[in-house]
Amino acid sequence: MARDILKTLKAEHDEIRDLFEQLNGTTDRAEKTRAQLLAKIDQGLLPHAKWEEAVFYPAFRERAERDGQKTWAEAVEEHRAVEQTVMPDVHQAEVGTPEFAGRAKVFGEFVEHHAKEEESTMFKMARELFSAEERAALDEQYEAWKQSDEGMAAVAEAAALTGADAALGSQRMQ
Nearer CB in complex with Fe ion: 52/83 = 52
The nearest distance, CB 162 to Fe ion, in angstroms, is 15
Residues of this chain that interact with Fe ion (CB under 5 A) are 52, 118
**Residue partners of 51: CB distance under 8 A and separation at least 6:** 142, 145, 146, 151, 154
User: Smallest gap, in angstroms, from Cβ of residue 99 to Fe ion?
Assistant: 26
- Sorted by sequence, the CB contacts under 8 Å of residue 110 that are 6+ apart come out as 78, 81, 82, 86
* In the complex, minimum distance from the CB of residue 22 to Fe ion, in angstroms, rounded to a whole number: 19
Beta-carbon count within 10 A of 58 CB = 12
CB closer to Fe ion out of 31 and 119: 119
Chain residue whose CB lies nearest Fe ion: 52
Given the complex with Fe ion, which of 5 and 168 has the nearer CB atom?
5
CB 111 within 8 A of CB 82: yes
